[in-house]
Structure 1
Amino acid sequence: MKRIIMGTVFLIAGIAHFLKPGKFAGITPGFIPFKTFTAYFTGLLEFAFGVLLLLGRIRNWQLNGMQKFLWAVFPANIYMYTHQEKLGLEKYPKWALLGRLPLQQLMVDMLEDVKK
């Protein structure tokens, strides 16, 4: 079940990167160059991860890569929390943006369970 949940999350996130690349480029921290390319590239990875998980054709090394990917994109979540006004995210409560941060660990843990 966790494989299906994570596959769906990755697939939806990957598609969203292609539908709204500017939104994802906008939450990319300033120290990362080529923001639009990065938005598309991370979207492609998430889409691929989703397909692999949903098809059940996944190996432990791929799951390890997905976990590393989740930590690699974690700075974007921190950036959203610390630059809420600059990014035009005032409509979201500060607690909701802060609440997203522990979700990264939850997703990593869910992928760990898929390995078993």
Structure 2
Amino acid sequence: MLPWHQYLLGVLFVLAGMNHFWKPKIYERIIPPYIPAHGSMVIITGIIEMLLGFMLMNKASQDEAAWGIIILLILFIPVHIYMLQNEKAAMKLPKWALIIRLPLQFALMYWAYLYT
């Protein structure tokens, strides 16, 4: 049996991925303009997040899932930077909350790394 915190991270990714389908406009707004096909990107990343979350909760695929999560979180860094730079993308979040999200990405990467 996997540790409870591994299931927690897996469930968080599954729920985050599902949220891409529940509230796609939020995600479309935070994608930088140089990234094409915002609607498609939201759907694709939602599916990837859910897939990686389920894979992380399976002993046979946890290693690949953990590395996939780390790569995905690295790819999301430009989104967090864009949210800091663009008032509309910031979604009225306070600046301090947007700043904290960057180191949080690295904490999540470390958390995922624990399962490699």
SS of the equivalent of 1:43 reads helix
**RMSD in angstroms over aligned alpha carbons?**
1.5
TM-score (norm 1): 0.88
Paired residues of 2:73 and 2:105 also in contact (CA < 8 A): yes
Structure 2 residue 35 is the aligned partner of structure 1 residue 17: no
- Tell me the alpha carbon deviations over residues 5-63 of structure 1, each in whole angstroms, 9 at most, x when there is no partner: 21122111101001111111110111100000000100000011111223444242332
User: For this pair of structures, how many residues does the alignment match?
Assistant: 113
| Higher RCO structure, 1 or 2 (CA under 8 Å, sep 6+) | 1
2:89 equivalent in structure 1: 87
1:111 equivalent in structure 2: 112
Return 5+ residue gaps in structure 2 as ranges.
none
Q: CA deviation at 1:94?
A: 0.8
TM-score (norm 2): 0.88
Looking at structure 2, the residues matched to 8 and 57 of structure 1 have their Cα atoms a distance apart, in angstroms, of 17
Return 5+ residue gaps in structure 1 as ranges.
none
Q: CA deviation at 1:96?
A: 0.6
Which one of the candidate residues 33, 37, 43 is aligned to 2:36? 33
